[in-house]
Amino acid sequence: MSTSADYLESVRKLFRYYKKLGEQAMAQLEPEQLFAAPNEASNSIAVIVKHLWGNMRSRWTDFFTSDGEKPWRQRDAEFENDWTTREEVMEKWEDGWACFLDTLDRIQESDLERIVYIRNEGHTVLDAINRQLAHYPYHVGQMIFAAKMAKTGAWDSLSIPKNQSASFNADKFAQDKQRKHFTDGR
């Protein structure tokens, strides 16, 4: 497999991993906790989802043929906490990710050096992917942090639980060395 093919396989797995982390965090909350923000300067989980949804739809619709900042995008409205149900949050979460992942899955190795535009600034496709690889996990991390703060009761760890690193590592080192992506099997 070429380096470009390895890259595409890796980023596809990483984005799906972060999508799953966001879902696992939201699943641990009561519906009303999705809409709570700790203060005026902070965003609720629902608002973060709304922003991700808007960004994904804008950036990845007609990816090769139109600017990633679509004229129909209302970015400022993405930060208004006006959704009211878990179902709406999850519907938009799935819609945004579907738009993004469907496009990402269609990108070929030969596309990585093509130029696409975001706010009239040219990016290689590789750079456009990397830009979102920094952006989307950043917001998923915010969601996880907010969920952990809002959660009442025990938190189901999304990574290696506290005080379990030694046993986790022992399990890993008990296996034969192999080349695989760290998200495989998670």
Question: What are the mean pLDDT values of the chain's consecutive 10-residue runs (186 residues total)?
Answer: 91 98 98 94 97 98 98 97 96 98 98 98 98 98 97 92 88 85 78
pLDDT for residue 66 = 98
Residue 1: how many CB atoms within 10 A of its CB? 9
- What domains sit in the chain, N to C, each tagged with a CATH number? 3-160 (1.20.120.450)
- Given a contact cutoff of 8 angstroms between Cβ atoms, the answer to whether 167 and 46 are in contact is no
pLDDT for residue 186 = 66
Predicted TM-score (pTM) of the model is: 0.93
Tokens of 181: 């992506």
- How far apart, in whole angstroms, are the C-alpha atoms of residue 181 and residue 163? 24
Q: pLDDT tens, 32-77? A: 999 999 899 999 999 999 999 999 999 999 999 999 999 999 999 9
- Given a contact cutoff of 8 angstroms between Cβ atoms, the answer to whether 143 and 45 are in contact is yes
